[in-house]
């Protein structure tokens, strides 16, 4: 019986397991992206000044709002990139190339794929790049 390292592709059952994992992560990431975008939208639409705020406090509040918007925007961007990568992983499953390191041609260990299901690189290849 071939070992995981000597196999060239994952079985249909393995690919189904990874597909289910990716779909769960995709659903969660889409919800988080939707939440971040919703918060950003509310912040963009809320331009009113709070009552009783001293004039010299307004620039500080504006700076804090700007920082928070930037952080939310970065978070939304991160989620979008993660979603894109997960969708590409689903495409690799459909094409039958999922789990194959693009650098070495070896199978990426299942443990790594379970932790980082969108990865294109084995640990060995990643360490050699860094």
In 10 A of CB 112, how many CB atoms?
Answer: 17
57, exposed or middle or buried, with CB in 10 Å at 0-12, 13-18, 19+?
A: exposed
For the cut 50, the answer to whether the pLDDT of residue 25 exceeds it is yes
Record the pTM. Answer: 0.77
* Per-residue CA distances from 43 to 58, 62, 93, 128 (Å): 16, 11, 39, 44
Cα-only R_g, the chain: 22
- Backbone angles phi and psi of 107, in degrees to 5: -70, 135
- What's the rounded mean pLDDT across residues 83-111? 96
pLDDT tens figures, 28-59 = 999 999 999 998 888 776 544 444 445 555 66
* Stretch among 3-12, 26-35, 75-84, 115-124 having the lowest mean pLDDT: 3-12
């Amino acid at each position: 019986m071939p070992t995981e390292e000597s196999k060239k592709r994952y079985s249909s059952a393995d690919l189904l397991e990874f597909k289910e994992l990716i779909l769960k992560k995709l659903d969660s990431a889409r919800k988080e992206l939707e939440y971040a975008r919703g918060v950003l939208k509310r912040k963009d639409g809320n331009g009113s000044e709070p009552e009783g705020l001293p004039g010299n406090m307004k620039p500080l509040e504006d700076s804090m709002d700007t920082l928070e918007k930037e952080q939310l925007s970065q978070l939304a961007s991160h989620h979008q990139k993660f979603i894109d990568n997960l969708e590409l992983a689903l495409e690799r499953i459909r094409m039958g190339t999922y789990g194959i390191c693009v650098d070495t041609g070896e199978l990426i260990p299942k443990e790594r794929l379970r932790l980082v299901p969108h990865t294109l690189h084995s640990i060995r290849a990643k360490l050699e790049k860094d």
